[in-house]
Chain A
Amino acid sequence: MNSTAFQKIYTKLNQITKATCSVKAAGVGNEEMAIVSGRYAQVVKIIGDSVTLQIFSGTEGIGTDAEVVFLGKPPVLKVSDQLAGRFFNAYGEPIDGGPEVEGEEVEIGGPSVNPVQRKQPSELIATGIAGIDLNNTLVTGQKIPFFADPDQPFNQVMATVALRAEADKIILGGMGLSNDDYLYYKNTFENAGVIDRIISFVNTTENPPVERLLVPNMALTAAEYFALEKKEKVLVLLTDMTLYCDALSIVSNRMDQIPSKDSMPGSLYSDLAKLYEKAAQFPDGGSITIIAVTTLSGGDITHAIPDNTGYITEGQLYLRRDTDISRVIVDPFRSLSRLKQLVIGKKTREDHPQVMNTAIRLYADAANAKTKLENGFDLSDYDERVLKFAREYSQAILAIDVNIDTVNMLDTCWELFKKHFNKHEIGIKEEFMTQYWK
């Protein structure tokens, strides 16, 4: 995006704040890109002949005589097959030392899919992790975040899911990713020999925070190209969305907007929905699935970021350390995949929904029994049995390092039911009881 000879250069800045500057200019379009003293900027407000620009890398050292060149187009990404296997920065420029990508220029953050043109998601994504496949089955075209505290191994779990998911393309949108985590992803994908299926847009903690705002749209624009033009199954990984929202709040603050809950902009819901809703199952077979990470502060999901996210995404996954077995599990209580109903018992074995619910109900009874124990009460025989069940269930199925298929998971559940309980304590439809209670 270099300036060309015929472009008009403006040099009279009349206002500079920490993230924005204003210049007197004419004929400028809303959301157009510009270069201010060699830095990328975008038009965010026009009042009369005063154009306000948001400078992505900050305004440090920008003078009132800085050169402003308008590029006449919103942010774009060049899309083609050459994207595969490459690493880019937030502007879509290569950072892996390779050549520029050639291809058609596409505006990022384009229009939304007509809802009647979408197809109902119906293809499940197998991950081998029971906390996901059994209890919270993922489906292509779904969008789901991990709600995780910063100390939890969400990057590892997400990389595992990405590798097992058998997607045609995996697109990583890294926002405020630490350099170490960036290298972790890079190495994991390289070691798995899948690097030609990976495309990364990365803004690390070393880059200016406002640049992050471009990353998810870059990743999703690339995803739309592969899902629509190439009819591929695309998996988009976005980490960490909390840092993306922080960047939104910085900008809205600089624009003098009245903050709503938790100092976030009032438009947070719409801003996030525009990204997450890019997940879709297209009629011709291509799909975009989004798995994101939203880091929490002390597990607080009432904060505006996880709260708004929860209302947009199709469920959420929580990680938890099960101290009984000293392993990390996907929390069966709070995690939820809203689209699982579309596949469980239909694409998986018919007893799946009931077995899943029963196992979770028993696991919940175990949690109650534990509370009783902590409060110093005696345990009943049933309590003892559910506690034993919970431990084995956690160990044999839930632990995230277990890698088995759903049939195997269901059979194991039935074995555990039989081992610890009577028929009437299970409460499953009789037709399944006769078939599987052996």
Chain B
Amino acid sequence: MTKGIVTGIVSNLVLIEVQGPVSQNEICSVVHEGLPLMAEVIKVLGNTAYAQVFESTRGIRIGTEVEFTKKMLEVSLGPGMLSKNYDGLQHDLNKMKSVFLKRGEYTEALDYDVKWDWTPIAQPGDKVTGGDWLGEVPENWIKHKIMVPFTMTAEYTIKSVTPAGQYTIDETVAVLVDKASKEHKINMIQTWPVKLSVRAYKDKPRPSRQMETGIRTIDTLNPIVEGGTGFIPGPFGAGKTVLQHSLSKNAEADLIIVAACGERANEVVELFTEFPHLDDPRTGRKLMERTIIICNTSNMPVAAREASVYTAMTIAEYYRTMGLKVLLLADSTSRWAQALREMSNRMEELPGPDAFPMDLPAIISNFYARAGFVYLNNGNTGSITFIGTVSPAGGNLKEPVTESTKKAARCFYALSQARADSKRYPAVDPLDSYSKYLEYEEVQEYLNANVSPNWVEEVLHTKDLLIRGREAYDQIGILGEDSVPLAYHDRYWKSELIDRIILQQDGFDPIDSSTPMARQRYMLELILSICDMDFDFDSFEDVMPYFTKMINLCKQMNYAEYGSVTFKRYESELHTLVAERRISK
């Protein structure tokens, strides 16, 4: 094992004189007063290694010993990760007992004393390779597959499989033999370096299935797909985190991984507090049972922040290889980029735009590319849908992180300050936002087959109505209410009807906060049928009161249980109201 001694300290960057070989991204421990502080080598110059310490460097002295591990930053993968709360380096936060995080206190990611109910899947004699399923254990409500470690990419023959029974994660469950007849004992734990992507799958096709989120402005207007990527940029206060929390509560995924990356601790506490009590509508279990939280809040060490998103992605890849639908949320990727900037700055690299490192766009695209829908070697499918938030400086979308992300992500949910200011939540701007997936033929076919025969056309029609409404609104603003044709008012208020009823959603109301696709279809078709009607108004002053009445009734429908007596009562009131001024063709 290579050793070294500290020769310099600049904030969380330490210079180490090494006696022996070191590699880039190798993990080492700076042994300060008996505590091993984790650090990662980020540059080597002659026999000096530059390492970023994942902890505060307060008190470290010149001459402090450093031990190198020969390994890159790795995560431990195995059953028992669900419902855990990890820090950015996958240390279990719940196992740390003191109120304050102690420097150098590292806890195991997995539990070694729990027995799991093992059932074999593979047979002796089967040919297997990395990522193939050997057996399964129940973990909460999912069948956690025990796989051939991803690092074993060659072909192996199974010599023996341990019979069904109760085992801990470090007991052998299978023995594999390689071409050279060497035996490999496999248990339920495997490790993987977080910066590398897991490629234990056969094929990565274009995604095609919609991923329901229960959020109307996303599902109806700009749908995201299983294995898709999206990002949510927005100024502070526009509701990025609330939107991400809604996604994590309502999205139709098997598993949610939340990477709280450099954000507020109280927001993570909200997840810790609420998720154990909230029901998952699909399984009837608690939301926490399908959630893993990776948490590096803004006051935790900066260097670990960069690691946290990779840790989350690697865990997502692990579960994807079990054939699961994983939703990965990162809030916020800007904090991750800032962590990169801080380090680049300390290393005195020449800065790129806004002092970010020059390779920022490449780093971001590589990361987004790790999401996706895959066919596994055994023909099953799995997916990682990734949605990141971006916190652009000053709310200005022309900044390096937003621009780089725009090149990588396929869905763009722009949060607008103006909408947030007028409390139009979720503040996703319907016209600026887009989903590239709506252009995919596979997705169009899927939507038309699964939602409604003309669905894509209806959605595009809705967007047109919104654009025309905005144009009319601008004209009214320029020319004055009484100087524009009556039709402008009609057009504006129809777009307002769509906005208030379809796009706006009360994230805190028990019913309105999540809308299933069937209900979304019903409401959209109802609203569109009204928008396609002609109404008779004597003067422009009649338009607003009439439409506000309509909006009020539709809103009450949104608050009511779908299909309930109340819902139907409001609906029939709505039809009566519509009939009052409708011109029959």
B and A form one assembly: yes
Question: Interface 1/0s, chain B 428-441, versus A by CB < 8 A?
Answer: 00000000000000
CB-CB < 8 A to A310: which residues of B?
235-237
Residue in chain A with minimal CB distance to B274: A120
Q: Is A304 an interface residue (CB 8 A)?
A: yes
CB distance from A434 to the nearest CB of B (A): 13
Q: Is A250 an interface residue (CB 8 A)?
A: no
Residue in chain A with minimal CB distance to B94: A116
CB-CB < 8 A to B393: which residues of A?
261, 302, 304, 307-308
> Which of B58-66, B120-128, B181-189, B525-533 is the contact stretch?
B58-66
Residue in chain B with minimal CB distance to A361: B423
> Which of A7-15, A87-95, A412-420, A422-430 is the contact stretch?
A422-430
CB-CB < 8 A to B98: which residues of A?
114, 117
Alpha-carbon separation in the docked complex, A325 to B122 (Å): 78
| Count of A-B residue pairs with CB < 8 Å | 204
Q: Is A163 an interface residue (CB 8 A)?
A: no
The residue among A116, A142, A377 with the most chain B CB atoms within 10 A of its own CB is: A116
Partner of A307, one of B262, B394, B545: B394
Residue in chain A with minimal CB distance to B422: A364
Residue in chain A with minimal CB distance to B55: A111
> Which of A53-61, A171-179, A269-277 is the contact stretch?
A269-277
Alpha-carbon separation in the docked complex, A267 to B343 (Å): 9
Q: Is the CB of B295 within 8 A of A115?
A: yes
> Which of B100-108, B159-167, B200-208, B248-256 is the contact stretch?
B100-108
Q: Is the CB of A260 within 8 A of B298?
A: no
Q: Is the CB of B551 within 8 A of A31?
A: no
Partner of A118, one of B96, B265, B348, B548: B265
Q: Is A2 an interface residue (CB 8 A)?
A: no
Residue in chain A with minimal CB distance to B300: A112
CB distance from A326 to the nearest CB of B (A): 24
Question: Interface 1/0s, chain B 546-561, versus A by CB < 8 A?
Answer: 0011011001100100
Query: Which residues in window 40-55 of A have CB below 8 A to B?
Result: 45-49
Partner of B237, one of A29, A282, A315: A315
CB-CB < 8 A to B11: which residues of A?
45, 267
A117-B99, A357-B423 are known contacts. Are A31 and B59 too (CB-CB below 8 A)? yes
- State how many residues of chain B have any CB contact under 8 Å with chain A: 74
> Which of B2-10, B130-138, B454-462 is the contact stretch?
B2-10
The residue among B265, B269, B302 with the most chain A CB atoms within 10 A of its own CB is: B265
Partner of B93, one of A115, A119, A141, A142: A115
CB-CB < 8 A to A427: which residues of B?
548, 551-552, 555
> Which of A239-247, A332-340, A391-399 is the contact stretch?
A332-340
- State how many residues of chain A have any CB contact under 8 Å with chain B: 81
Q: Is A380 an interface residue (CB 8 A)?
A: yes
Q: Is A157 an interface residue (CB 8 A)?
A: no
A28-B61, A310-B236, A333-B421 are known contacts. Are A424 and B341 too (CB-CB below 8 A)? no
Q: Is the CB of A280 within 8 A of B61?
A: no
CB distance from B528 to the nearest CB of A (A): 22
Question: Interface 1/0s, chain A 227-271, versus B by CB < 8 A?
Answer: 010000000000000000000000000000111110000110110
CB distance from B4 to the nearest CB of A (A): 14
Q: Is B482 an interface residue (CB 8 A)?
A: yes
Alpha-carbon separation in the docked complex, A415 to B270 (Å): 35
Partner of A378, one of B85, B94, B396, B482: B482
CB-CB < 8 A to A304: which residues of B?
393
Q: Is the CB of A269 within 8 A of B355?
A: no
CB distance from B35 to the nearest CB of A (A): 12
Partner of A277, one of B265, B391, B556: B265
Q: Is the CB of A111 within 8 A of B100?
A: yes
Q: Is the CB of A260 within 8 A of B341?
A: yes
Q: Is A301 an interface residue (CB 8 A)?
A: yes
CB-CB < 8 A to B99: which residues of A?
113-114, 117, 228, 282-283
Q: Is A26 an interface residue (CB 8 A)?
A: yes
Question: Interface 1/0s, chain A 82-103, versus B by CB < 8 A?
Answer: 0000000000000000000000
Question: Interface 1/0s, chain B 360-394, versus A by CB < 8 A?
Answer: 00000000000000000000000000000001011
Q: Is the CB of B100 within 8 A of A46?
A: no
CB distance from A10 to the nearest CB of B (A): 14
Q: Is the CB of B266 within 8 A of A142?
A: yes
Q: Is the CB of B394 within 8 A of A27?
A: no
CB distance from A41 to the nearest CB of B (A): 16
Query: Which residues in window 114-130 of A have CB below 8 A to B?
Result: 114-121
Q: Is A296 an interface residue (CB 8 A)?
A: no
Q: Is the CB of B266 within 8 A of A46?
A: no
Q: Is the CB of B93 within 8 A of A27?
A: no
Q: Is the CB of B100 within 8 A of A113?
A: yes
Alpha-carbon separation in the docked complex, A123 to B341 (Å): 38
CB-CB < 8 A to B556: which residues of A?
429-430
Q: Classify the secondary structure of B's interface with A.
A: mixed
Q: Is the CB of A47 within 8 A of B480?
A: no
Query: Which residues in window 177-224 of A have CB below 8 A to B?
Result: none
The residue among B61, B85, B93, B395 with the most chain A CB atoms within 10 A of its own CB is: B61
Q: Is B345 an interface residue (CB 8 A)?
A: yes
Alpha-carbon separation in the docked complex, A83 to B481 (Å): 64
Q: Is the CB of B342 within 8 A of A270?
A: yes
Query: Which residues in window 329-359 of A have CB below 8 A to B?
Result: 333-334, 336, 338-339, 341, 353, 357
CB distance from B503 to the nearest CB of A (A): 15
Q: Is A316 an interface residue (CB 8 A)?
A: yes
Q: Is the CB of A311 within 8 A of B96?
A: no
Residue in chain B with minimal CB distance to A273: B298
Q: Is the CB of B295 within 8 A of A267?
A: no
A119-B269, A425-B548 are known contacts. Are A314 and B264 too (CB-CB below 8 A)? yes
Alpha-carbon separation in the docked complex, A276 to B33 (Å): 29
Q: Is A312 an interface residue (CB 8 A)?
A: yes
Q: Is A74 an interface residue (CB 8 A)?
A: yes
Q: Is the CB of B236 within 8 A of A48?
A: no
CB-CB < 8 A to B348: which residues of A?
258
Q: Is the CB of A258 within 8 A of B272?
A: no
Q: Is A360 an interface residue (CB 8 A)?
A: yes
Alpha-carbon separation in the docked complex, A172 to B416 (Å): 36
Alpha-carbon separation in the docked complex, A313 to B75 (Å): 31
Q: Is the CB of B544 within 8 A of A382?
A: yes
Q: Is the CB of A29 within 8 A of B58?
A: yes
Q: Is B261 an interface residue (CB 8 A)?
A: no
Alpha-carbon separation in the docked complex, A114 to B262 (Å): 14
Q: Is A152 an interface residue (CB 8 A)?
A: no
CB-CB < 8 A to A312: which residues of B?
264, 298
Q: Is the CB of A113 within 8 A of B422?
A: no
Alpha-carbon separation in the docked complex, A360 to B264 (Å): 27
Q: Is the CB of B482 within 8 A of A277?
A: no
Q: Is B291 an interface residue (CB 8 A)?
A: no
Other contacts beyond A115-B269, A304-B393, A314-B266: 8, CB < 8 A: A29-B60, A258-B345, A266-B338, A269-B335, A273-B298, A277-B264, A311-B391, A427-B551
27 CB < 8 A contacts A-B = A28-B62, A46-B10, A47-B10, A111-B101, A112-B100, A113-B99, A113-B100, A114-B93, A116-B272, A118-B265, A260-B345, A269-B262, A269-B298, A270-B262, A270-B338, A273-B298, A273-B299, A276-B299, A302-B396, A312-B264, A314-B266, A315-B237, A336-B237, A341-B508, A378-B482, A425-B548, A427-B551
Residues of A at under 8 Å CB distance from B? 26-32, 45-49, 74, 107, 110-121, 141-142, 228, 257-261, 266-267, 269-270, 273-274, 276-278, 280, 282-283, 301-304, 307-308, 310-312, 314-316, 333-334, 336, 338-339, 341, 353, 357, 360-361, 364, 372, 375, 377-378, 380-382, 424-425, 427, 429-430
**Closest A-B pairs by Cβ, 10 of them:** A302-B394, A273-B298, A277-B299, A310-B236, A260-B355, A47-B8, A29-B59, A112-B299, A120-B273, A31-B58
